Amino acid sequence: MIVGVIGSGGREHAICCSLNKSKKISKIYCLPGNAGTSDIAENININSDNFEKIKDFSLSKNIDLIVVGPEKPLVNGITDYLESFGIKVFGPNKIASQLEGSKIFTKNICKKYNIPTANFGIFNNEIKAKKFLNESKFPIVIKADNLAAGKGVYICEDQDQSIQAVQEIFKGKFGKAKNVLIEEFLTGEEMSFFIISDGFSFQCFGTAQDHKRVLEGDKGKNTGGMGAYSPSRLIDNKLEKKILDKIINPTLKALKDLKTNYKGFLYAGLMISNNEPYLIEYNVRMGDPECQTLLPKLKTDFYEILNACCENRLNKIKIEWTKQKSLCVVLCSKGYPENYKKNVEIRDINKLKLSSKDYLFHAGTSKIKDNIYATGGRVLNFVSLSNSFFQARDNIQKHLKDLNWLGGFFRKDIGFKVIDK
């Protein structure tokens, strides 16, 4: 089988690596890919937004399955477009993808189907939003109602911060936003909860804890993700049942009521408060770096799972996982998430000695001849499987010390809630 993977980040490198384990796959293309994917797939310089070129390439190469990694092409309807030409695609359609594309779309579903979430208000201009903030209690959460690569969220401690957030959103800091969402600040502990669905049945696909803040101790600005660990320390059978009954099942019913089915990964960002789950937001794809943390634990043939989803027979597949713990640390360019230098060489990367339980996924990298360069804010993802989170993190930090890349930085405390007690 020939598979095409759309995207260029660490998530897509992890997807390619998992697909590469399948004996049924003869060829992988990555569009456009990165320095890491080029070792196991053929990178094709086609942007993920260029649907027509992706279609033409897929047809010319007789690609059997397209796997869409990032959210933007999904929200813009790539699944609908490619399927209209008879191309098999793993990923939700345009309507279902509004769960991530519009936070207000999701909030309205929560309201109609009694899905537990934070109380909220929707505002289409600065004046109305500021008037609401004058009467609000703090801290408060402010979100842009559009895709923002995981960064369009503000947690504001006072009125000055909140007004600045509203101004930045309406001025287009995260792209064009017609509305701003203001919601109450929920207290508790966050958890990432994943399912995979074929539109008729679904299975749970693991849990993780992401570290969004740039500084240790979960402080500083929001990022796309500085690291993660799996499984979440919070998950048990009782909580899982609550999540499925109160959040996942009502959401899938809402989509069916809209005459659409959900096919793909669904990632629920949750707040767990007093052992009760509340929906913060949905993502319509695997998280990044949660994907890099989860997929190395997968024992079942990844291609078989994705293909079964596309053929509406996921209920025939038994998904199995290793019981080992997984931890991921993201190596970033200095200056991230603000301004950072690009095209900085990463020397000695090929000299790293990784065990069979250690993984290195490329994110923002490119290869020129045999040299690797950092081209993005989040550059490399180091992942380790172990019987303990402490040992996994220790393994990663040894590799980072060996690499000794002076152009980057990383958080040394990933997993501190399960390690540094």
Q: Which pLDDT tens digit goes with each residue over 15-62?
A: 999 999 999 999 999 999 999 999 999 999 999 999 999 999 999 999
Read off the tokens for 78: 């790539």
Rounded to whole angstroms, the Cα distance separating 405 from 346 reads 6
Distances (CA, A) of 11 to 212, 253, 290: 16, 28, 8
- Which of 145, 149, 150, 185 minimizes the C-alpha distance to 169? 145
HSE-up (13 A, CA, CB side) for residue 24: 14
Sign of CA dihedral 225, 228, 234, 237: positive
Burial 221-247 (b: 16+ CB within 10 A, else e): ebbbbbbbbbbbebbeeebeeebbebb
Q: What is the DSSP string of 371-406?
A: EEEE-SSEEEEEEEEESSHHHHHHHHHHHHHHH--T
CB atoms closer than 10 angstroms to residue 180: 27
pLDDT in tens, the chain (421 residues): 999 999 999 999 999 999 999 999 999 999 999 999 999 999 999 999 999 999 999 999 999 999 999 999 999 999 999 999 999 999 999 999 999 998 889 999 999 999 999 888 889 888 888 888 887 889 999 988 766 555 578 888 998 999 999 998 888 777 677 788 899 899 999 999 999 999 999 999 999 999 999 999 999 988 999 999 999 999 999 999 999 999 999 999 999 999 999 999 999 999 999 999 999 999 999 999 999 999 999 999 999 999 999 999 999 999 999 999 999 999 999 999 999 999 999 998 988 999 999 999 999 999 998 899 999 999 999 999 999 999 999 999 999 999 999 999 999 999 999 997 5
Tell me which DSSP letter residue 296 carries. Answer: G
* Element at 331 (helix H, strand E): strand 325-333
Do the strands 227-230 and 325-333 form a parallel or antiparallel pair, or are they unpaired? antiparallel
- List, in sequence order, every residue forming a beta bridge with 140; answer none if it has no partner: 156, 184
| Bond into 250 cis (ω within 30) | no
Kindly report, residue by residue over 189-202, the tens digit of the pLDDT. 999 999 999 999 99
R_g over Cα of the chain: 21
Residues 6+ apart with CB under 8 A from 299: 320, 321, 322
Read off the tokens for 82: 């490619």
- Which of 77, 114, 126 minimizes the C-alpha distance to 97? 77
Read off the tokens for 27: 């060829």
**Chain centre distance of CA 391:** 25
Read off the tokens for 387: 């019987």
Do the strands 65-68 and 2-7 form a parallel or antiparallel pair, or are they unpaired? parallel
Q: Domains of the chain (ranges plus CATH)?
A: 2-92 (3.40.50.20), 119-184 (3.30.1490.20), 190-316 (3.30.470.20), 325-419 (3.90.600.10)
Tell me which DSSP letter residue 242 carries. Answer: H
Report phi then psi at 208, rounded to 5: -155, 165
Do the strands 371-374 and 325-333 form a parallel or antiparallel pair, or are they unpaired? unpaired
